Amino acid sequence: MIQYANFQHKKVLVLGLAKSGVAAAELLHELGAFVTVNDSKPFEENPQAQSLLQKGITVICGRHPEDLLDEGFEVIVKNPGIPYTNPIIQDALNRQLPVITEVELAYLISEAPFIGITGTNGKTTTTTLVYEMLKNGNRNPLIAGNIGTVACGVAKEASKDDCIVIELSSFQLMGIQTFKPKIAILTNLYDAHLDYHGTFDEYAKAKLNITKNQDESDWLIYNANQQIVEEYVKNSKAKKIPFQSTKRTEEGISADDQMIYWEGQPFIDRSIIALPGKHNLENILAAVAACILYGCDKEKIEEVLQTFSGVRHRTQFVRNWQGRKIYNDSKATNCLATKVALDAFKESTILIAGGLERGHSFEELRDSMKNVIGVVAFGQTKSRFIEFAKSCGVDTTIEAENVEDAVEKAAAISNTGNVILLSPACASWDQYPNFEVRGDLFIEAVMKLN
């Protein structure tokens, strides 16, 4: 860890705890800052705040005082989920105080270079693939961000011989100032999190922060299948590496029906790839390109592609139950992700969907509902999703109380040869703290089926 001295004796406010807030507060304290944490959960119900207090860190819990910034803070470290419309954040910006996220801290202290992955969909699969390939190639990767350990924790332990592979959300990328990955990957751009960002353009600009500090010594791998992505990346100063999954190209990495090509030359036979789905081919191309650039041997890359079949909560095969194949796609928190999952199956499908109400339309799914013969919906959007399913011609529609109840009801209406797919098209926060908990409860319920 680099002993970054710029925080020594500075007053720093950490706004919001959870794992990233705790890690940031502990790191700043270690770097000699005068740290205050502010969290909405009451102190007596907040073991994280209690632990920080025992370490000598000031804690203010249960409320967000309007005059909090009058304490003379010089830097604000914001939990990524807290919107910039938050009154304290607005006050900080009006005072021209730096507002950063924990990822920026991790970069400042890290001796290891970063490979950063962002985009609307495919981030987790791409991140995992990069990590597995580099690990197989003895390139000393460490995994961080949304998919792994909090970035600060990883960066503290990383040496200059390591490499930090990090999945990054738009929320995290809005709070960077100097973060500069050696390799950046932009998987794709679609409408998402507009309740947070306001417009697609603001959302896309947040994603493009991944490359804003890159220069000619760095690489940006991007999705050349999307013209909108090409438009947004054109001002990047990094060396650009496009990936194209529908035809052979002479630049970057590409694929046709038989081969993956690197700079127009045959590189990997697609027949060896274990991971199914057209969308996953894009993830594979991005990951392979990153590993080539980082010096990973072709043989080590191929070994992973021959065995890697997916990540937890992302179209994850759970069980064959009485002739039904059951899949967990809890990470599908938007319509595009669910559309991709539905398009991957040709079998008659029972879809389990629903969750947090954000007011978005389900129309994007209409063309992908052709093989759906039944829908079980739960969560805040259940009635609206049922109405949408009926408009698509789905005859069997049932409301459920939660994901466990949905498993039982989906099993009851299914037949031999069907696919039962949890792919909610909605966030989980109406009933569950995150999509992982939702997916784990789904798996538990599936394993209990007799």
Full-model pTM: 0.79
Provide the b/e sequence for 308-329 (b: ≥16 CB within 10 Å).
bebbebbbbebeebeebbbbbb
Strands of the 163-167 sheet, one edge to the other:
141-145, 163-167, 114-118, 183-186, 219-223, 239-244, 253-255, 259-262, 265-269
Q: How far apart are CA 245 and CA 195, in angstroms?
A: 31
pLDDT in tens, the chain (450 residues): 888 879 999 999 999 998 899 999 999 999 999 999 999 999 999 999 999 999 999 999 999 898 999 999 999 999 988 888 899 999 999 999 999 999 999 999 999 999 999 999 889 899 999 999 999 999 999 999 877 689 999 999 999 999 999 999 998 999 999 999 999 999 999 877 777 778 999 999 999 999 999 999 999 999 999 999 999 999 999 999 999 999 999 999 999 999 999 999 999 999 999 887 788 899 999 999 999 999 999 999 999 999 897 788 888 889 999 999 999 999 999 998 999 899 989 899 999 999 999 888 999 999 999 999 999 999 999 999 999 999 999 999 999 999 999 999 999 999 999 999 999 999 999 999 999 999 999 999 999 999
- Predicted pLDDT at 24: 95
Cα separations (Å) of 149 from 56, 145, 429?
24, 6, 21
Report CA torsion sign: 9, 10, 13, 17. Answer: negative
- Predicted pLDDT at 152: 93
- Predicted pLDDT at 148: 67
Report CA torsion sign: 36, 41, 45, 47. Answer: negative
Exposed (0-12), middle (13-18) or buried (19+): which is 439, by Cβ within 10 Å?
buried
pLDDT in tens, 245-277: 999 999 999 999 999 999 999 999 999 998 877
Q: Name all domains of the chain by residue range, CATH numbers in brackets.
A: 6-100 (3.40.50.720), 106-307 (3.40.1190.10), 316-447 (3.90.190.20)
pLDDT in tens, 307-349: 897 788 888 889 999 999 999 999 999 998 999 899 989 899 9
Residue 447, number of CB atoms within 10 A of its CB: 12
Q: Are 72 and 12 in contact (CB under 8 A)?
A: no
